[in-house]
Amino acid sequence: MKEILIEVSNLSRIYHVGDSDIAALNKVGLSISKGEFVSIMGPSGSGKSTFMNLIGCLDTPSSGTYMLEGIDVSCLVRDELAEIRNNKIGFVFQGFNLLSRTTALENVELPLLYSGMPARQRRERALDALRTVGLEDRIDHQPNQLSGGQQQRVTIARAIVNNAPIILADEPTGNLDTKTSAEIMDLFVRLNRDSGITVILVTHENDIAAYGRRLVRFRDGSIISDEATS
């Protein structure tokens, strides 16, 4: 039996805008085991990002439960969520969200600043992560001195520097050309296979989704299919 990492049940998220309520997620249930590589697809507005924000502890559900490594995180307060986020989850988004005028090395070190780790050890860890993504020769470059693919590699290094067991990637190849997208996807595959990192990835491209081993489809805030792909 595979160890369950993420388990959500009846998860709903309703946004209140003016007088109307938008049910972005409607009683979603899903469990994900340690080491899985799950692709999520669905039309624009179907709730994918809302789901990722909840899974990533960036947001809390309107109702339902979310168990992460057996801990009920649906009822935690902000500081507790921030701590879980910092230790358990690495984020990779479409826009690279790197600090400008800040070197690759410093960007990757950022998540370690909260941990009180000594500077030297921080640097070692960040270097290690940059090596893992193949950017050891670009550590002193700032984002505007790097290609899109290289910037996304920095983001991935930043996502793994804390040894987080989960990577959440929301359209990580959305701004990249086909060849660079394939390189980034190979990197996710390698992290999943070699380091056992659980990868959950949102994409609207079939080719990209095919890198995962399970495909979950959303529509109108619900899961409409969930199947193994290879």
Ligand X SMILES: Nc1ncnc2c1ncn2[C@@H]1O[C@H](COP(=O)(O)OP(=O)(O)O)[C@@H](O)[C@H]1O
Q: State how far the alpha carbon of 49 is from the alpha carbons of 34, 58, 107, in Å.
A: 21, 11, 24
Q: State how far the alpha carbon of 195 is from the alpha carbons of 34, 153, 183, 187, in Å.
A: 11, 16, 17, 11
User: Which residue's CB is nearer to ligand X, number 125 or number 217?
Assistant: 217
Kindly tell me which residue out of 11, 38, 39, 49 binds ligand X, with binding defined by CB under 6 A: 49
Q: Which does 17 bind (CB under 5 to 8 A by kind): ligand X, Mg ion, none?
A: ligand X
Kindly tell me which residue out of 39, 49, 155, 181 binds Mg ion, with binding defined by CB under 5 A: 49
Q: Which stretch binds ligand X (CB under 6 A): 31-39, 45-53, 64-72, 102-110?
A: 45-53
Kindly tell me which residue out of 17, 116, 227, 230 binds ligand X, with binding defined by CB under 6 A: 17
User: Which residue's CB is nearer to Mg ion, number 48 or number 85?
Assistant: 48
Kindly tell me which residue out of 39, 50, 103, 192 binds ligand X, with binding defined by CB under 6 A: 50
Helix (H) or strand (E) holding 40: strand 37-41
Question: Per rule CB under 6 A, is residue 44 in the interface with ligand X?
Answer: yes
Q: How large is the C-alpha radius of gyration of the chain?
A: 17
- Longest CA–CA span in the chain (Å) reads 53
| Other Cβ atoms within 10 Å of 35 Cβ, number | 17
Q: Which stretch binds ligand X (CB under 6 A): 4-12, 15-23, 107-115, 123-131?
A: 15-23
Which structure tokens are listed for 132?
A: 């893992």
Question: Per rule CB under 6 A, is residue 46 in the interface with ligand X?
Answer: yes
Min CB(218)–ligand X separation in Å: 6
Question: Per rule CB under 5 A, is residue 50 in the interface with Mg ion?
Answer: no
Closest CA to 64 of 112, 20, 28: 28
Asked if 161 contacts 153 with a C-beta cutoff of 8 angstroms, the reply is no
- Rule CB under 5 A: which residues touch Mg ion? 48-49
